Structure 1
Amino acid sequence: MEKVVYYLFTFLESALSVVGIRATYEEPRYAVVERLDRGVEVRAYEPRVAVETDAKGQQDGEAFGRLFRYITGANRGEARIAMTTPVESEGQMIAMTVPVEQGTAGTMRFYLPRKVVEAGPPEPTEAGVRIVRIPQERLAVLRFSGSTAPDVRRQQSAILTEVLDKAGKRHPDPPFFMGYDPPFSIPFLRRNEVAVRLPASDT
């Protein structure tokens, strides 16, 4: 019965996010420490823990499936773990739940809820899935709604880069995408973000 309730609740969360309701999803904690032109925020994120796997690109359903299986029981203890937001992706980008991360080296991440982290995240039982710890960091973030097509992401990334350059903010790493909604969400209600990691030496 517990498993049925878990899947029903997960389905309900996904259905609500279609119309822009994300109140049930946990999001990593951050503080806005500076506001720049064009709505760009500099955020200080607390340390986070994620489950990660290698990915082959934007539509790598196998990578997403491995991570989804981890949070639905493919772990030591067979724990079922709540979805969180955002899904983060660097380089090639994905917006499925809120948010997933996909890296320049071809990685995809789900962030783990704080209660799971405090209790000790269960070890994955599937090959290619690993737990990663992300230290505190600063991100420069530009939020937008609507389409997440590659040309739109490039345009928003160019705006972010231009604002940072004008503000004299170093950003050696390329922009990445953080998606908070499934691809079938109503476009104007979507929360999309492009971001770059800022060097710790500039704090």
Structure 2
Amino acid sequence: MKNIAHILFGFVLAFIQIGNAMAIEEPKYQVVIKDGDFELRRYESMIIAEVVVTGDLSEASNRGFRQVADYIFGNNEDPLKKQAEKIEMTAPVTVESDLSSKIAMTAPVTVESQGGNQQATWKLSFVMPSKYSLETLPKPKNKNIVIREIKSHDLAVVRFSGFVDEEKMQAQTKRLEAWLKQQTLTAQGAVQLSRYNPPWTLPFFRRNEIWLRVESKSQ
């Protein structure tokens, strides 16, 4: 049943790839270090919409995804026009969890674990398109959805392909943590799993990433 999460996460990305070949916006960043599958990126500030959900990783991801997708599809109110507005989807869809790491928590686009068991509490969030500010972004009608800004920050990233379950997420997290030690970087954030592809993408074409927030590295 874990592949259900992959399908749901891919749904919104798929719908904006159909028809006109419109580019999917990703959060803006600069590459500070590139080393094979690993990168250190400096992300610009971003606005996220997040919701708290419970359950195991798959269940919580599905519940949170449906709520935030409902918000961007129009269950909102434009602060100026006083009417619903469809918000463009960005990529990737990111699941944030501390189940696979003991590193202290912070948070982008995410599901964030608040516990260490199969019924943990999570936060799932999408990054909002960069054209919006906190003042112009449509307000969610679902009171469970919180809008907040994340300031500029550095992320350590490892990229890999295939389908992802919790075991694979943990294995890739260990790879990234080992690379952090080699680079003498200190992690500050929770483990984040980011997925970029629609559900029909073949496993070896899939782009997945594990993200860890780190102390800023001077340029």
After TM superposition, the score normalised by the length of structure 2 is: 0.74
Q: 1:186 to 1:126 in 2, by over 3 A?
A: same
After alignment, is 79-88 or 59-68 more displaced?
59-68
Q: Which has the larger share of helix?
A: 1
Alignment gaps of 5+ in structure 2: 1-11, 78-82, 100-107, 115-121
Aligned partner of 1:91: which letter? Answer: S
Cα pair distance change 1:133/1:172, threshold 3 Å: closer
Structure 1 residue 152: Cα displacement: 1.3
Aligned residue in 2 for 1:49: 47
In the aligned structure 1, how far is the partner of 2:42 from the partner of 2:160?
Answer: 20
1:80 aligned partner, one-letter code: K
Residue 161 and residue 180 in structure 1: after superposition, are their counterparts in 2 closer, same or farther (change >3 A)?
same
For residue 69 of structure 2, what is the amino acid of its counterpart?
F
User: In the alignment, what sits opposite 1:191?
Assistant: 207
Partner of 2:30: 31
Query: Superposed, which structure 2 residues align to 1:59-78 within 5 Å?
Result: 59=58, 60=60, 61-76=62-77, 77-78=83-84
Q: Report the number of matched residues.
A: 183
| Residue of structure 1 equivalent to 2:102 | none
**Is residue 92–residue 102 contact of structure 1 (8 Å, CA) maintained in 2?**
no
Q: Does 1:168 align with 2:184?
A: yes
Contact 1:30 1:44 in 2 (8 A): yes
Amino acid at match of 2:215: P
Paired amino acid for 2:130: R
| CA distance in 1: counterparts of 2:113 and 2:43, whole angstroms | 20
Distance in 1 (CA, whole Å) between partners of 2:14 and 2:211 is 28
**CA contact 2:112–2:190 (8 Å) conserved in 1:** no
1:107 aligns with 2:119: no
Q: Which runs of 5+ in 1 are unaligned?
A: 1-8, 17-21, 94-98
Q: CA separation of 1:10/1:141 partners in 2, compared to 1, >3 Å: closer, same or farther?
A: closer
Deviation at 1:130, TM superposition (A): 1.3
SS at the partner of 1:117? Answer: coil
Q: Quote how far apart the aligned CAs of 1:51 are.
A: 0.8
> Deviation at 1:15?
5.8
* Cα distance change on mapping 1:144 and 1:25 into 2, 3 Å: same
Identity across the alignment (%): 28
**Considering only aligned residues, what root-mean-square deviation do their CA atoms show, in Å?**
2.6
Aligned equivalents of 2:31, 2:13: Cα separation in 1: 29
The letter of the residue matching 1:32 is V
Letter in 2 for 1:195: W
